[in-house]
Amino acid sequence: MQIFLASSDFLLEQSKEEEVRYRTAGRPMLCRPTFLPKTTLTLSHLTSDKRPLDRQGCEHTSQLFCGAKLENRLTATFWNIQVKLKDFLPCANIYSLPVPYRLLVGAPRANWTHAPDLERPGALYRCPLDSHNCSQVVVDTEGSRSGTKRMVEIKYRDNKNNMWLGATVRTHQDRVVVCGPMWKNAYFRRYTILNGICYEMDASLKTDTVQKRMPCLGDQPTTVTHPLGHQINEGGDYTYGKCQTGLAALYTQNGSKLVLGAPGGYDWTGTLSTYTGSYQTTGHPETWDPWPEGGAVKQPHDSYIGFSLAAGKFFGDGVEYIAAGAPRHQHRGAVVFFQETTGNDGALQPTNTLKGTQLASGFGYSMVALDLTNDGVTDLLVGAPVYLEKGVGGAVYLYSTRDKATLQLVTMLTGPPASHFGLSLSSAGDLNGDGFTDIAVGAPNEGSGAVYIYHGTKSGLKENYAQVGLLPLFSSQPHPLSLGAISDDNITY
């Protein structure tokens, strides 16, 4: 599931029950974005809608946009919510110039038009909103083949079939990354090595700007004594062999780092890899080791660290931290916070852990970092979609430091039974124009799926939802929510 800005001729109706309804061709419908699991769409550019953009406020009318059914090719139908947005669009380099919208759409089960021999590798689409034509972005010009990681001569044989390219799409200014966490290294015939892969490029989306991100190939060549390199250690643990790199990804707030989550690393303990510098960076990434030697505390197996990611200045010290969701950490879930080590190597080390309280609640499955109260300190929302108590099916926790140096639970939101409320989370911008950021919460198992909107306030979040969108017409379930923008104006179609 995805919410993003767009434009449309369809009109919004809002009932007394505050359900978000649509009307097209004289027939009312409820908005539920419906995509395959982990399908993502990201807003990649902005438009003034031919209205002057105020440099200070950027107040104008725009819309939320919902889409349905992305199969082996892009066949999407869209409905829209028209809302008034204020102080939402970044305006620093737009001023009063009209800039075209464009969507980046991840379709993890799509086939490649330029390599039809591959079986559903997944694809990235670009969709200008001033036309009905979407086109595939060519991130890799070849099918499955053998290759070598040049820095240290690590050999691999890639298998791009069913690699779920487009499961994760993230942008930051002039940078774009799209990931296929199911990419397989077929070099070792007896083993299925599920390393995962990401492709990073600039905002032009041109193939010649693409850099492959394959941190879980490791840096240990295959030898007689280590025939599997870094993939499976001598004790039989899958060190890098099941990483699934790119199941989560983010850019730090200043864009200086790309962080990739690999929840299957180190026998599903999970790990993070970081690339420092521009998208042109070709150097070796820094990959965190959750099993350090020398007596340091090891993270528990099967934690899934890196399943979700968020970044922000959470603790009031002005330092940006990386938050990594670990929904199976000690069976209750957790969020592990990382800080960059001193020096220029870009390495991360864990600083503290926020632990879930209920067994098997999935705490940390989803996260979003945002400043709800406009106080300059980042608040953290954590989803626990399998949280269970009488009359409740899923929860979202709001944490903030406020006047203290540690994160405190401020609000807990819950959803209806068996709804998986909190499976996906997103900042929705300032939908009601009150100056505070609102959020969207996905509940994919409520009927055929639902999206809840909660309004932000000066004290956090209103505990009662402002509106809920349902759509019983499709069977695909909504998953990731994200909203991003590329503010560089050199994008071409």
Sequence-separated (6 or more) residues with CB below 8 Å from residue 248: 168, 260, 261, 263, 306, 307, 308, 309, 325
CA dist 320 and 313 (Å) reads 4
- The DSSP result for 34-83, as a single string, is B-STT--EEEEE---TTSPPPTTT--EEEEEEEEE---SS---EEEEEEE
Cα distance between the two ends of the chain:
25
Tell me how many helices (H) and strands (E) the chain has: 1, 35
Q: Where would I find the beta strands (DSSP E) of 401-466?
A: 408-414, 424-429, 438-443, 450-454, 456-457, 460-461
Tally the C-alpha atoms within 13 A of residue 143's C-alpha that lie toward its C-beta.
11
Angle among Cα 93, 96, 97 to the nearest 5 degrees reads 75
d(CA 157, CA 162) in angstroms, rounded, equals 15
Instruction: Work out the pLDDT band at 53, boundaries 50, 70, 90.
Output: very low
Domains, the chain, ranges and CATH?
Answer: 4-470 (2.130.10.130)
Q: What is the model's pTM?
A: 0.78
Q: Are 322 and 388 in contact (CB under 8 A)?
A: no
Helix (H) or strand (E) segment spanning residue 107:
strand 102-107
DSSP alpha helix (H) spans, 245-363? 265-268
Check whether 201 has a pLDDT greater than 90.
Answer: yes
Two tokens, residue 50? 């031919």
> What pLDDT sits at residue 475?
38
Predicted pLDDT at 295: 58
Q: Which two tokens stand for residue 354?
A: 């926020």
24-35, pLDDT tens digit by residue? 223 222 233 322
Q: Comparing 15-19, 182-186, 291-295, 472-476, which segment has the lowest mean pLDDT?
A: 15-19
pLDDT above 90 covers a percentage of the chain that reads: 50
Percent of all residues in the chain with a pLDDT value above 70, rounded to a whole number: 67
Owner of token pair 């980042």: 378
Tokens of 363: 């705490």
User: Which pLDDT belongs to residue 254?
Assistant: 85
pLDDT in tens, 225-283: 445 556 766 566 788 999 999 999 999 988 889 999 999 999 999 999 999 887 776 66
Q: What is the mean pLDDT of the chain?
A: 75
- Running DSSP on this structure, what letter comes out for residue 361? -
